[in-house]
Chain A
Amino acid sequence: MNCNITIKAISRYADNDCTVKEFEKIESHLKECSRCRHILHNLQMLKSSLSSIAPVKESKGFDSAFFEKLEKAGQKEKVQFSLNEMLKNTLSGMQDIFAIRAPVLVRVAASLVVTLSLLFGGYNYYTYANLPLVEGASGKADIYNARSREWVTAAANMRLRENDIIKTSQNGIVNIISRNKYAARVKEGSFITIAKLNILGHNHSTEFDVKSGRLMVNTADAFKGSNMLLKTAACRAKVVGTAFIIDVDETSGGSTWLGVLEGKVKVSSKGRDVYVDAGQKTQTQLNSTPDMPTLLSDNEWKDVQELYQLGEKPQVAILISMQPDRVKELLRPAPLYILDSAPRAIPKDLDAIMHTINKAIGDNNVAAHRLSIENLERMVKVYPNARYNAQFMMFIGSYYYYLGDYEKAINSFEKVTRDYPANALSSLAQCAIGYIYDNDLKDKAKAAAAFEVLLKKYPDSIDAKVAREFLEK
């Protein structure tokens, strides 16, 4: 167009959406310019064609089908309630999760939403920011304030100091956060004293005296260099960057049970040190050495997984529907969203990787896809973080599947089941392995083996249904 009136201006003129000044300017221009008149004419024709489109009516069974769906969804919500609660806890602070505006990384599925959210907790940086903070408390929970020498009801935003005591009875729970070092949960029936607290400088040192009850601790990345010691009547447990639970039974004189979800805990008693790794537990009776670590039972695993609810730390979450055939959703194109409302705690590399993946989609470039997936794998290796590695490995697995590289897809899923057996996604990963063998590699024997493992390890998981159906065939 050779005149200085833009199509946008004409478009607004046609909509009566311009100032009087603009209106007059366009009006006078139109008198002189036949080309713009022609554009306006076409625009008006297009507008009237669009506005004259008759609305469609819903088909006859629309309402009844809707109310049926609604009823089903209502029933499902009841089942999903506990899961949703868990997710809500995990995702607390991610309120704008639905207001995502970042580009789609790769692949889509309505019901599988991989949400990558990297948040540092939004706790307030008070003057005493480094003092452990009561993030929330429920049920019967009291705190002994050593400075004022009185018992008060535990409530959110209280700061804890040395010699304070946390006491919980029936249904009492106290959640504690120590800046970016750790999150802890004191469960019901506990009596725990903060015996030592040194929060000066970068590395903190904390000592809890656990007389009875249950304490769950989940340390963050920034815990590195800090110390945490838990003393019970029976033993001392030193935290080595980890997520774990310690249980002290007062009735048996302080016999201590300790289970570890991630990382490692050193348990010492009577001059003997025992290292308890992820997925292991140990028991220490009063006046005896700690038992050799053994694997957690299935029920204990379930207990230990409560640790995933603790704290507001950088996290990646995969939201997966709870349909029994969700494995198909996993292996269908899925998006990876990045939430950009909070400070990033993820390596910058991820940005670059996302960029290459986006570009590869645009160019339909398989080589670029391979490169970016390898970069993603490298990132997971270089910046290991137990909190989101499993999720990344799931994503990588389904990405390989998408590229048709079934063996590598299976490898990724195997890593999830091997390295994160307690992760809520492990049953899904195991199911995916079986599914790929059956569906894509046409290896019925291996599929059966994979599904049998699934049934054995996760008999109560929703994915077990797929396995049962396959094995019945």
Chain B
Amino acid sequence: MFFWVLFSRRQDNTDIPPIYDDELVDRAKQGDKKALDVLYHKYKRPILNYIYRFVGNFHHAEELAQETFVRVYMNISRYEKTGKFSSWVYTIAGNLSRNFLRDRKHVNEVSIDESITEEGSVTLLDVIQDKGKLPDEQALAEEKEKLIQQGINQLKPKHKDVIILCDIQGLPYDEVAKILKCPSQTVGSRLSRARENLARILGFKDL
């Protein structure tokens, strides 16, 4: 029984062996493709989620996430370890997402100032406060997520970055600062501004 537990635990851990990123990066730089594959599997989902929240479209997010990792694989030999590997991947993903949105903005002429909170429409506050109306937890969560995503879609890219990285993904300020290549105080003030804007878009009265 004891051995079985040990065995099963090891099985669970095969996805992410307990090796530090740095070591994997070193191996990858020496041409060990498997080390890179491990890093890919470790970060594909956080990166996909970051991009998805940023561009607001799942299909495009998948394409951009794949493109991000193609660049990681192609450039790993030239990558210089100055910070965390994950920060580098996030930076690539962020740049690709920004370029993508910039490209589309001009093509589709999307107006970003249009508020989603028209008179009589449901706001996020209604959804989170009035739980009685939507007893189904799943439906509630989905509705909430949809509204929040619509709100994020209207933020400026630099505000999207901090909302997604700090508040949704829960990364610490200093790591976000490295990804965005700015001082961590800037992250703090940008985050405060971003929350203010998002709250306004989502229909909070005060903030």
Across the A-B interface, give the 5 residue pairs with the lowest CB-CB distance, nearest first: A108-B102, A11-B192, A50-B167, A8-B192, A108-B103
- Say whether B170 faces chain A, with CB atoms less than 8 Å apart: yes
Q: For B99, what are the chain A residues with a Cβ–Cβ distance below 8 Å?
A: 108-110, 335
Contact with B along A20-59 (1 / 0, CB 8 A): 0000000000000001001100110111011111111111
- Say whether A224 faces chain B, with CB atoms less than 8 Å apart: no
Chain B 187-207 interface residues, beta-carbon cutoff 8 Å to A: 188-189, 191-193, 195-196, 198-199, 202, 204, 206-207
Q: Of the candidates A43, A69, A335, which one forms a contact with B102 in the assembled complex, judged by CB atoms under 8 Å apart?
A: A335
Chain B 47-63 interface residues, beta-carbon cutoff 8 Å to A: 48-49, 52-53, 58, 62
Q: For A42, what are the chain B residues with a Cβ–Cβ distance below 8 Å?
A: 199, 204, 206-207
Knowing A107-B106, A333-B103 touch, does A49 contact B124 (C-beta < 8 A)? yes
Q: Give how many B residues have a beta carbon under 8 Å from the other chain's beta carbons.
A: 52
- Say whether B110 faces chain A, with CB atoms less than 8 Å apart: no
Q: Of the candidates B48, B69, B163, which one forms a contact with A70 in the assembled complex, judged by CB atoms under 8 Å apart?
A: B69
Q: Give how many A residues have a beta carbon under 8 Å from the other chain's beta carbons.
A: 44
Knowing A62-B62, A110-B99 touch, does A50 contact B168 (C-beta < 8 A)? yes
Chain A 196-245 interface residues, beta-carbon cutoff 8 Å to B: none
Knowing A7-B207, A11-B191, A12-B188 touch, does A110 contact B96 (C-beta < 8 A)? yes
- Say whether B156 faces chain A, with CB atoms less than 8 Å apart: no
Q: For A109, what are the chain B residues with a Cβ–Cβ distance below 8 Å?
A: 99, 103
Main secondary structure of the interface of B (DSSP, over half): helix
A8 to B49, CA, bound (A): 27
Q: For B69, what are the chain A residues with a Cβ–Cβ distance below 8 Å?
A: 66, 70
- Say whether A440 faces chain B, with CB atoms less than 8 Å apart: no
- Say whether A77 faces chain B, with CB atoms less than 8 Å apart: yes
- Say whether A460 faces chain B, with CB atoms less than 8 Å apart: no
| Interchain CB contact under 8 A, B100 and A110 | yes
Which of B69, B102, B189 gathers most chain A CB within 10 Å? Answer: B102
Chain B 93-148 interface residues, beta-carbon cutoff 8 Å to A: 95-96, 99-100, 102-103, 105-107, 124, 128, 141, 144-145, 148
Contacts A46-B199, A66-B66, A333-B103 given; 11 further ones with Cβ under 8 A?
Answer: A11-B191, A15-B191, A39-B207, A46-B198, A53-B53, A56-B58, A66-B40, A69-B66, A73-B73, A108-B105, A110-B99
Knowing A56-B52, A65-B66, A99-B181 touch, does A39 contact B58 (C-beta < 8 A)? no
Knowing A17-B173, A107-B106, A110-B100 touch, does A46 contact B204 (C-beta < 8 A)? yes
A51 to B170, CA, bound (A): 7
Q: For B16, what are the chain A residues with a Cβ–Cβ distance below 8 Å?
A: none
Q: List 7 A-B contacts (CB under 8 A).
A: A54-B141, A55-B49, A56-B58, A62-B44, A65-B62, A73-B73, A108-B103
A98 to B70, CA, bound (A): 17
Instruction: Give A244 Cβ to nearest chain B Cβ, in Å.
Output: 34
Residue of B nearest to A402 (CB): B106
Q: Of the candidates A50, A52, A57, A110, which one forms a contact with B163 in the assembled complex, judged by CB atoms under 8 Å apart?
A: A50
- Say whether B45 faces chain A, with CB atoms less than 8 Å apart: yes
| Interchain CB contact under 8 A, B70 and A58 | no
Q: For B170, what are the chain A residues with a Cβ–Cβ distance below 8 Å?
A: 51
- Say whether A359 faces chain B, with CB atoms less than 8 Å apart: no
Residues of B within 8 A of A (CB): 40, 44-46, 48-49, 52-53, 58, 62, 65-67, 69-70, 73-74, 95-96, 99-100, 102-103, 105-107, 124, 128, 141, 144-145, 148, 163, 166-168, 170, 173, 181, 188-189, 191-193, 195-196, 198-199, 202, 204, 206-207
| Interchain CB contact under 8 A, A69 and B67 | yes
Residue of A nearest to B33 (CB): A70
| Interchain CB contact under 8 A, B189 and A8 | yes
A32 to B95, CA, bound (A): 45
Contact with B along A315-351 (1 / 0, CB 8 A): 0000000000000000011010000000000000000
A110 to B170, CA, bound (A): 28
Knowing A12-B192, A56-B52 touch, does A73 contact B74 (C-beta < 8 A)? yes
Residue of A nearest to B52 (CB): A56
A35 to B205, CA, bound (A): 11
| Interchain CB contact under 8 A, B207 and A53 | no
Q: For A274, what are the chain B residues with a Cβ–Cβ distance below 8 Å?
A: none
Instruction: Give B178 Cβ to nearest chain A Cβ, in Å.
Output: 13
A43 to B70, CA, bound (A): 38
Q: For A74, what are the chain B residues with a Cβ–Cβ distance below 8 Å?
A: 74
Residue of B nearest to A8 (CB): B192
Knowing A55-B49, A66-B66, A69-B67 touch, does A49 contact B188 (C-beta < 8 A)? no
Q: For A332, what are the chain B residues with a Cβ–Cβ distance below 8 Å?
A: 103, 107
Q: Of the candidates B48, B145, B166, B206, which one forms a contact with A58 in the assembled complex, judged by CB atoms under 8 Å apart?
A: B48
Q: Of the candidates B58, B128, B145, B191, which one forms a contact with A54 in the assembled complex, judged by CB atoms under 8 Å apart?
A: B145
Knowing A12-B188, A62-B66, A110-B96 touch, does A56 contact B207 (C-beta < 8 A)? no
A59 to B58, CA, bound (A): 9
Q: For B96, what are the chain A residues with a Cβ–Cβ distance below 8 Å?
A: 110
Q: Of the candidates A7, A17, A70, which one forms a contact with B70 in the assembled complex, judged by CB atoms under 8 Å apart?
A: A70
| Interchain CB contact under 8 A, A51 and B188 | no
Which of B163, B168, B198 gathers most chain A CB within 10 Å? Answer: B168
A59 to B63, CA, bound (A): 11
| Interchain CB contact under 8 A, B206 and A38 | yes
Chain A 51-100 interface residues, beta-carbon cutoff 8 Å to B: 51-59, 62-63, 65-66, 69-70, 73-74, 77, 98-99
Which of A11, A50, A63, A104 gathers most chain B CB within 10 Å? Answer: A50
